[in-house]
Structures are given as structure tokens and as C-alpha cells.
Amino acid sequence: MIKVVLLGSGNVAIHLAEALANEKNIDFIQRFSRSHNNDDFFDKTIPIINNTNELKSADIYIIAISDDAISAFSKQLHLNGLVVHTSGSISLNDLQCNANKGVLYPLQTFSKKQKINFKNIPIAFETEIESDLTLLETLAKTLSNHTYNIGSQKRKKLHVAAVFANNFTNHMYKIASDICKEHDISFDILKPLIQETANKLLTLSPKEAQTGPAKRNDKKVIENHLLQLNKNQKEIYNLVTNSIIDTYNSK
Amino acid sequence: MIKVVLLGSGNVAIHLAEALANEKNIDFIQRFSRSHNNDDFFDKTIPIINNTNELKSADIYIIAISDDAISAFSKQLHLNGLVVHTSGSISLNDLQCNANKGVLYPLQTFSKKQKINFKNIPIAFETEIESDLTLLETLAKTLSNHTYNIGSQKRKKLHVAAVFANNFTNHMYKIASDICKEHDISFDILKPLIQETANKLLTLSPKEAQTGPAKRNDKKVIENHLLQLNKNQKEIYNLVTNSIIDTYNSK
């Protein structure tokens, strides 16, 4: 059984802790948390420490803290075993400890309040040393049904792609919701459209799924839309519309 | 029973025809189609005509053709009853016929290949004359479980919001898929993230659901992302990132 220690208490750590605690094939022996908030923890039987000197011996230490803290935090750890972080954008080599290094990146958007099935979350994993790969792969496959051995360079590309697919998509929802709010229209009217936009990708590529005035290069509708937007919305509308027009007119 | 004639053969018309043909409480008496492609038609028992002189007497005529053709096409119709179009962006008054006018706007993204349950599609409807409202509302409620009486001005706002929620969202998927393709990464890795991004809206507002480097104003990750993008992707990344930063730092 793989002995695991989890370090961190943010959104990723909260959901990862729940997944680790639920797996019978994982010996989840300890959590480290500076903020030490027991309310956030799914399984209260896992011992929580707030001093790194109290860390027990484990096979894998998972550092699930904010990207910019990983390097400095890992520097103060003196551990044997495999130390991995969970970030999409940070290189494996940013881990500054003497232990063996790896990455276990769950590619999903985590919010505290939102329940999620970890088995459906794709996990990209890598290790510095080849001989650690089987151990980390076993942990990844225990947590998720979708695992990928991806190196740091490729993982960075995947992370920026994920920013478009999630962060920027969500911001498009945000602008749509702002327009609704401003004109006293229920945002609920748009929710089936939003669901269908995502569902279409199960059978169509994004290029095939596109519809609307920009794809048709329908100048009249586009001009009319621009009249109804504020400065910031207009800038985004123009840039994305032109990018869609280019996609369908240049190929 | 409401007698309905459908005019058009594009994506909206194809899905609407299927919904009309499936409803026992609707007497779907005729279709007009210039392109006359029987293969697209769900129910081959509905008579198809390609000359407007052959139009039969009906309660409601639904014009489901492209936005910029509605005005000229409606001008040549000499009908009694209620004539409605299905466009989100065209005013009720752009219907140029002498008949009573209305709008029946199904707010969804339609692709030929993609099956869809019409009952889940929000329908915004309006009529020029108050006395027609009950008739059109009855049709709308027969087709869908989510109907909204919304006037032309508000409908235009809703339409531009829908462009952000669907067209622009889908283009974010497209860019993510381009990045994956370029670096030989399967786009499938991003699909659970895309699904969850949409699902989050069932319990969170877009503002609450946001995560990522722009929300945290994490300059280091943002700089690193920009290095990995082409010119067009970079422009979109910068603009949307700054818009997200403004959202979370100004309020």
C-alpha cells in the first residue's frame, strides 16, 4: 500500500484529500496545513500537523500549494521518498528539495463548494527518475481513470490550453451574465445553451461546432451587437469575432 | 389544434421541424423549402412545397431562414394569420408582410448532426398585437418547458449575451484544441475540464466559479503563458486576462 502525505489546504488539496481518504489502496497517513482548518477536511481521522518537522516517513509527499510558494516551501523539506507537486505551470525542477522529484497534475477546476468525482479527472504525471515512474503511475491510476505521462514542457502547453478552455470560457459566461443582469434578463435562459456548447464537443470538434454571426461573417449583425456593448466588452467582441472570421475564411 | 407552416431548411428549421412533427397537439400541415432536400426531414409525411403561392391557410407561419433574408422574404408573402421569425437579432418589425407579426426565438446552438431535445430549449416569444400572445405562447409552451415573453429590444441584448456564452466560448475551445494539436497532446484531456466549467454554473455564478492565474493576478504564470502563444492567441490571452484581473481587483 502506498503511504501518502499531503501538504496544503487550498482548493486542490481539499478535493485531493477527499479522494485519498476514500481510496482503500492508499495509506493516507498525514496532512500538513498551515491554516489548519479542520472544517475543510473530509476525513477527520487523518492526523493534521502544522510543523514540517513532524512529517512522517512516506512513499510519496504531495505538495498541493499555490504555484509561487512551491519552490521556497520545498526548499525547507528534508525528506526521503518521492516529492511531487500538483501544479500545471511549474516545472518539476522548481522543486528545491533533495528528495526524488515528480509532478501529479490533476487537470480540473476546483472550487471549495463544488463536489467532484476524482476518477473522472485527467491526471498528468512525470518523475525525474525513471525508477519512480511506476510508483507515481500506480498512485495516479488509483485516483483517476484518465492518466497521462507528460513531461514538464508539454505540461506547460497543456496548462495554457486549459486556461483558454476553462478560465477564458468562464469569463465569456461572466460577460454574458453581466449583459443579462444589466438588462434585467435571467441568466438561467442561457444555461441550456452553455451546457449544449460543452456537450457538442462529445461528438464534434470545436471547429465543426462553431455557429453564429462571426462564422458567417455577418457584418450587419456584428455591427448591431457592437452598439450594445460597453468599451471592455466591445474590445473582446471585436478581437474574438475577428479571430473566428479568420478561422473560417483563411482555411 | 394549432395549424403550423414552417418556412426554411437550415439548422434551426431542421430541428424545429422534428419538434413540430413530434407534437401531437400541433397540426404541422406544410413546409416550404427552396432547397427542397427531403433527406434532412425527420417526418417525410409533411408535404413540402417550394413555391410560396402554394402556402395553405394556417394559424402560425414560422419563418426559420437566415437573418439577412427575413425582411425581403417576408415582403413577398400575402398571408392571414400570425407570421413569426425565429431570429435572436432581428426586430419583430423587420417582418415586412401584412399579416400579424411575432417572434419565436429558440435560444440554442443548432448543428445539423447534433441531436437535441427541444423541450429543454428556452424560447423567447413576442407578438406585435396583444391578442396574438396567447396563441404564440401556447405554441411555445407546447414545444418547450422554458418559455419567456421578451420584447425585441431585450431579445437583442439576450442575443449578444448568447454570442459570448456560445460562439466565443466555443472559440476558446478551438484555441485550446489548436494548442493541443500543435504539441501533439490529445484534446480529450481537456474535455472533463470543459464539461466541469459548464457544470459549475448549476451551483455557482460565473464570478464565483472563476479560478486560474488571471483571477490571482499571478504575473509570473501569465508571463510564462504568453511566451508559449502565437500572435493572435497572445492578443486574446492579454485582453481576456486583463478583463479578468479588472473583475477581481476593482470590486
A54 to chain B, minimum CA–CA distance in Å? 31
Task: Report chain A residues whose CB lies below 8 A from the CB of B206.
Answer: 170-171, 173-174, 176-177
User: pLDDT digit string (tens) for A176-189?
Assistant: 999 999 999 999 99
B53 to chain A, minimum CA–CA distance in Å? 30
Is A190 near chain B, with CB under 8 Å?
Answer: yes
Q: Is residue B18 pLDDT above 60, yes or no?
A: yes
CB contact under 8 A, A195 and B198: yes
Return the number of other C-beta atoms located less than 10 Å from residue B202's C-beta: 10
Is B227 near chain A, with CB under 8 Å?
Answer: no
CA diameter of chain B: 67
Is B234 near chain A, with CB under 8 Å?
Answer: no
Is A114 near chain B, with CB under 8 Å?
Answer: yes
Is A124 near chain B, with CB under 8 Å?
Answer: yes
User: pLDDT digit string (tens) for B131-190?
Assistant: 999 999 999 999 999 999 999 999 999 999 999 999 999 999 999 999 999 999 999 999
Ordered DSSP codes for A73-102: HHHT---SSEEEE--SSS-GGG--SSSEEE
Task: Report chain A residues whose CB lies below 8 A from the CB of B214.
Answer: 163, 167, 171
CB contact under 8 A, B166 and A237: no
Digits of tens for pLDDT over chain A (251 positions)? Answer: 999 999 998 889 989 999 999 999 999 999 999 876 555 555 667 889 989 999 999 999 999 998 889 999 999 999 999 999 999 989 999 999 999 999 999 999 887 777 889 999 999 999 999 999 999 999 999 999 999 999 999 999 999 999 999 999 999 999 999 999 999 999 999 999 999 999 999 999 999 999 999 999 999 899 999 999 999 999 999 999 999 999 998 64
User: pLDDT digit string (tens) for A235-244?
Assistant: 999 999 999 9
- Integer CA distances (angstroms), B132 to A20, A111, B25, B62, in order: 60, 47, 18, 14
B37, B47 in Cβ contact below 8 A? no
Tell me the helices (H) and strands (E) count for chain B, helix number first.
Answer: 10, 8
CA–CA dist A209, A221 (Å, integer): 20
A144 to chain B, minimum CA–CA distance in Å? 12
Is A18 near chain B, with CB under 8 Å?
Answer: no
B222 to chain A, minimum CA–CA distance in Å? 9
Q: For residue A110, what pLDDT is reported?
A: 83
CB contact under 8 A, A221 and B89: yes
CB contact under 8 A, A89 and B224: yes
CA–CA dist B47, B222 (Å, integer): 58
Q: What are phi and psi of A197, to 5 degrees?
A: -60, -40
Grid coordinates given for B208? 464565483
CB contact under 8 A, A172 and B164: yes
Place of cell 505540461: A155
- The CA-based angle A186-A190-A195, given to 5 degrees, is 140
CA–CA dist A169, B211 (Å, integer): 11
